[in-house]
Structure 1
Amino acid sequence: MKNYLLYDFIQVAGGAERVTLTLAEAFPDFQTLVSRSYPDAQPLLDASSAQVQELRGGWSVCLPRIWESMWCFRFRAGRLHDAHTVLYSGFYAPLAVYQQRSGRRFYYCHTIPRFAYDLYDSTLAGFPWWLRPFYAIFVRWFRKQYEAAIGRMDRIFVNSENVRARLQRYIGLDAEVVYPPVATQHFRFLADEGYYLSTARLVPNKRVDVIVRAFLQMPERSLVVLSGGPELERLKAIAGVAPNIRFTGWQADDALRRWVGNARCVIYLPVDEDFGMSPVEAMAAGKPVIGVAEGGLLETVVPAETGLLLNPPPSIEALIDAVEEMEISVGPTLSELCRRRAVLFSEKQFIQSMKKHLR
């Protein structure tokens, strides 16, 4: 039987890329197809036993990343013609559904393309005025393509109740929740070295600037920013020469687990996060989470049991208060509650659910 697993592209060591490789390892009889794999994701690919095939080729390699991905799945996925089962994910891979003439069609939705729906206005405002009409035309066209493609699926799965509600609100489709796999088995409590950890990508909607500004007012507390992104230099400028704030850049998986395992607490304050793997990784290591009461964190962090959730939008003052409260809360009991909670979102649970649906 011809079975396929499709995802847009392997760009970085991100959550969706990890889900794709977990599925590829759990279903070795599925061929995994992406438009392209990028150098920043090579360490992730090297650590996986999954075999990932690229669709790129010909003149389309000259296209920008998104356009290349759309072209590859729309016109270079002819091998799907007689497929038995195809599991689509991402924004652009579903366009390959038009190549599939028979068999079952499943879609695992990490999130809807937010740039075209709930974040459309803010994304549009980020373009120069003369580019905005072209962007608006592209989004109207892309919405039609995306909605028509996922409308052809037999079943749709989403990674959280948050994304399920978003899909219903903007597209009018319902779905089944299958929480994504978190490699909880790799995270351990190692020690409490007293520092607070931020693992979010350095982009505006992760609100890492709030965290940095808060720790500028807490020189007695240490912050480690364990990530990179386009906001890195701006955040470094905000931190200045503060000796209690350290930027490490992106870390390999082993180093990430050591940093989490030795932290006192993980702080994660994104805007309406789809699901959020970082809080679950923290809890798997017995570390509490200071988060925000919106998005996927409402489904993973239990206030007063596995961490604290701040009212959105989180203020600097509220974060400072939460850190001081955490200082007197950490201990063996809190760590054990965190570990128990994290097990509910393990790779084992995810694979069992997906095998039940796909088999």
Structure 2
Amino acid sequence: MTGYAHPLPSARAAQLPGHGLLVHEWLAPAGGSEQVFDRIVADFPRADVLCLWDDRGNRYPDRQVRETWLARTPLRHHKALALPLTPLVWAHQMHGTYDWAVVSTHSFAHHVRFSCAPGMRKILYVHTPARYVWEPELDARGDGALARAASPWLRALDRRRAAEAHTLVANSHFVARRIARTWSREAHVIHPPVEVERIASVRDWRGRLDGPEAAVSDGLPSEFVLGASRFIPYKRLDLVIRAGEAVDLPVVIAGGGPEEEALRAAAAPARVPVHVVVDPSDALLYSLYQRATVFVFPPVEDFGIMPVEAMATGTPAVVNVEGGAPETLAGRPVGAVFDAASPASLREAVETACSRHRATVADHARRFDSRLFDDAMTSTVVEAVSAP
């Protein structure tokens, strides 16, 4: 993740009246929702920032980031334990005068309330309604006895809080349909921002690598299937290994997380070489995108920023047919979709993607560039705040 950039000049954002607030769940050092929120913060340079806690520190050097009381407890290091408390934290958090708020939510941030500002406008950017409440089959945190018992109450509360928002924006059409199904609200779609122009502007990212990462890069094969994400079970990185075996190409998997040893154990018996690159810098990750034959993205995701990043370098993407990731392809000949339950489908998708023209792929990625997000998001907020 590239992180926060300096505030962007925005004529539309300058039209916003009054005092604004930008809200997010917890701010992890890296992550897709954090990447979106970084851009929102840059788009509205006069607004305050509020989150449950900030694990990166000094993330926005030109802002004061307000944290909730959870930040001063050991719970900030245990998201699963803190999660059940967060609706109550948000419900009693904000006692101040704000005219509008943009809330980036994938759990309960949209529950934030403003007791002293009855006429304010709340605009939600929804990564997803909380999966562990609404679709526990996709999130194991909702599968326990206590979570199941609390689910009816949480669903009713979650729907009420969503009803308080003036405007809802979904990060994909897949999520917009989930919002309609769970909250009975309509949302329009603004796809997440991707640094397409920045990634595409460097002809060869290997020239930006330092000594140790240059050595890592030099040790990789000339052709390979690439996968990249956090090393956690639902990312299904084992399917990246299966993809390499299906087309007899080496595999490179980049990322980091608690399942590193399990991933290495899954890679050991593979019929092709598997290289694990831990915690790559942006430059190394972009270099891997450039060099890869194909990028394989197996999880059922709400959207999928990484496939677009790979396509920005001209590398075609193979994505799961379920979820929002197919929207990154938009039905164009820039990759392929596969059914995770079918090995034959995975092999066919990789073979199809490998035949795509890299120039076409790179040109397609520009439709997701962050500047388009900036324009759409600032226009949406201005229209919501200015509406009668």
Pick the TM interval, shorter chain.
Answer: 0.7 to 0.9
Supply the AA of the counterpart residue of 2:110.
Answer: P
User: Are 2:46 and 1:29 aligned?
Assistant: yes
Aligned pairs (5 A) from 1:1-359: 1-38=18-55, 41=56, 51=63, 53-57=65-69, 61-63=73-75, 64-67=81-84, 69-79=86-96, 82-90=97-105, 91-99=107-115, 100-118=117-135, 120-121=136-137, 123=139, 132-188=144-200, 190=204, 193-216=222-245, 220-240=248-268, 244-271=273-300, 273-302=301-330, 305-310=333-338, 312-327=339-354, 329=355, 334-359=357-382
Q: CA deviation at 1:253?
A: 1.9
**Contact 1:73–1:95 (Cα < 8 Å) also in 2:** yes
Deviation per residue, 1:297-328 (Å, 9 max, x gap)? 22221556101111x2343343234334444x
1:157-202 deviations in Å (ceiling 9; x for gaps): 1111111111111221111111111111222363993121101333
Question: 1:58: how far off?
Answer: 7.5
Q: Percent identity?
A: 24
The SS at the match of 2:278 is coil
User: 2:27 & 2:49 partners in 1: Cα distance?
Assistant: 11
1:222 CA displacement: 1.3
SS at match of 1:247: strand
User: Structure 1: how far apart are the matches of 2:42 and 2:328?
Assistant: 25
Moved more, 19-28 or 140-149: 140-149
Whichever residue aligns with residue 346 of structure 2, its letter is L
* C-alpha distance 202-59 of structure 1, shift in aligned 2 (>3 A): closer
Amino acid at match of 1:253: D
Shift of 1:205: 2.7
Could you report, residue by residue, the CA deviation over 1:10-65 in whole angstroms, capped at 9, with x for unpaired residues? 12411110111111011101112111012xx46xx65x666361323379624443
Q: Do the aligned residues in 2 keep the contact of 1:124 with 1:135 (CA within 8 Å)?
A: no
Q: Structure 1: how far apart are the matches of 2:104 and 2:330?
A: 29
- Distance in 2 (CA, whole Å) between partners of 1:126 and 1:84 is 35
Equivalent position SS for 2:345: helix
Counterpart CA distance in 2 for 1:352 and 1:58 is 34
Partner AA of 1:347 in structure 2 = S
- d(CA) in 2 for partners of 1:249 and 1:75? 40
Which segment is superposed worse, 171-180 or 200-209? 200-209
Structure 1 residues 308 and 52: alpha-carbon distance in aligned structure 2, compared to 1, 3 A threshold: farther
CA contact (8 A) 2:254 2:276 kept: yes
Aligned CA distance change for structure 1 residues 217 and 336 (closer, same or farther; 3 Å): closer
For residue 276 of structure 1, report the CA deviation from its aligned partner.
Answer: 0.8
Unaligned 5+ runs, structure 1: none
Letter in 2 for 1:255: L
Amino acid at match of 1:92: F
TM-score (norm 2): 0.79
Residues 1:60 and 1:326: Cα distance change in structure 2 (over 3 Å): closer
Q: 1:213 & 1:290 partners in 2: Cα distance?
A: 13
By how many angstroms is 1:123 displaced? 4.3
**Are 1:56 and 1:72, in contact at CA under 8 Å, matched by a contact in 2?**
yes
Decide whether the 8 Å contact of 2:294 with 2:316 is kept in 1.
yes
Instruction: Give 3-state SS (helix, strand or coil) of 2:154's partner.
Output: helix
Distance 1:196 1:124 in 2: 29
Give the Å deviation of 1:152: 0.4
Give the whole-Å Cα distance in 2 for the aligned partners of 1:184 and 1:302. 16
User: Could you say if the C-alpha distance between residues 121 and 236 of structure 1 is closer, same or farther in structure 2, counting changes exceeding 3 Å?
Assistant: same
* Contact map agreement 1:212 1:235 (CA 8 A) in 2: no
Mapped to 2, the partners of 1:125 and 1:133 lie a distance apart of: 10
Q: Structure 2 vs 1, CA of residues 122 and 95 (structure 1 numbering), >3 Å: closer, same or farther? A: closer
Q: Distance in 2 between matches of 1:145 and 1:32?
A: 24
Amino acid at match of 1:18: Q
Which residue number corresponds to residue 210 of structure 2?
A: none
